[in-house]
Amino acid sequence: MSGGGFGAWPGGPADGDPFGADPFGVPGPTNTGGYVGVPPPPSGSDPKVNTLATLSVIFAFVFAPAGAVLGHLGLAQIGRTGQRGHTRAVIGLALSYTVIVATVAAIVVWTVTGADSTDPAVGSPTVAAPAPASSSVSPVPTTTTPPPAPLVDAAALPGLLLTDAEARALTGDNGLANIETLTHPQMPPTSESVYEPLECVPSFLASTSVAYGASGHLGFHGTAPSNAETLLSIGQSVSNYTDAATATGMLDYYRGIWTRCAGTTLLWHMMQDRATGPITLGAPRDAGDGVVELVSHSTLDNLPYQRAIAVKNNVLVDVQAGGGDHKPGLAVEVVRKILSKIPG
């Protein structure tokens, strides 16, 4: 309470009784004949103010439950004795109950709002405390992608082919020597050999213009280590392209020719000898390590004619082999030797 504490009420006397005759200045009863049913007070003196009624008002602010009890007791006592203070007792009761109700309401509000703000299990979601920062930082694994191999240019192509010495070491034929160098794909002169069907010649011969006519190669180089005595002959060539994908496209195109011509009889007309050698063309097969192999056979004597192709980086390797002791897989071995020289 503010406004000066528990001083005199408005309209009341300022004497020793803080409440006077009436806390609100209302004059007391003037009927000297007394209340109905209550004997009149002794003549010449006013009835005494009920003490319990006065205490009810005081305790309404000190301890409201006690003020309420005192108010009820005061009313009962006034009813028996006819003392003054009925209004004061009613005021004490009203104030006491008002304080009680206000106190209970305040407690309820505090309980609800206090629980909402302080009890995480009731009113607010539980927020996990952040984990303490680790003093050690785990290293982030890194992967290193090696840079792509540099593309092979046309000037490097001759160095990729087997030298005569390497061809001899590979075959064991010390009479091998290069008899022809090619700088572009081509067919044998028609004065020497004619083939039909022409579109299937790439299954029998390496480095023909039939296969490379629309290949888009940038450079080309080929050699032919051969031995006229043993009849062993190796035809090897390499061609480079703008990128590895284009080279692989050429390999797929080449293999497509082999697949379409598989089982076809190729007629090889040897013009100077005026003879024809029929060749049964084989089917392509995977020889491992990205090498594609094809073996055809002479219809007359069943001698094998080997072919092999492969791609590495932006280079296509194209090899044929035949004659000599007809070593199986010789063309594949030559291709692998060349592949080992190509970067990437």
Output the pLDDT for position 64: 78
* Residue ranges for the chain with pLDDT beneath 50: 1-45, 120-123
d(CA 101, CA 93) in angstroms, rounded, equals: 12
What stretches of the chain adopt beta strand conformation (E)? 177-182, 193-196, 219-226, 233-240, 265-270, 275-280, 285-288, 291-298, 304-312, 315-322
Give the pLDDT score at 14.
40
174 is written with which tokens?
Answer: 């010390």
The yes or no reply on domain 184-341 and CATH 3.40.50.970 is no
Following DSSP, what letter does each residue of 277-303 receive, concatenated? EEEE----EEEETTEEEEEEEETTT--
290 and 309 in contact (C-beta within 8 Å)? Answer: no
Query: Which tokens hold the place of 238?
Result: 């390499």
Other beta carbons within 10 angstroms of residue 249's beta carbon come to 16
- The span from the CA of 344 to the CA of 334, in Å, is 18
Half-sphere exposure of residue 71, counting CA atoms within 13 Å on the CB side?
23
Q: What is d(CA 68, CA 95) in angstroms, rounded to the nearest whole number?
A: 8
* Secondary structure of residue 263 in the 3-state scheme: coil
Residue 101: alpha-carbon gap to chain centroid: 61
pLDDT in tens, 232-252: 999 999 999 999 999 999 999
- pLDDT for 115 equals 56
The residue extents of the domains of the chain are 184-341
Gap between the Cα atoms of 255 and 109, Å rounded: 89
Token pair 């091998």 in the structure block, residue = 176
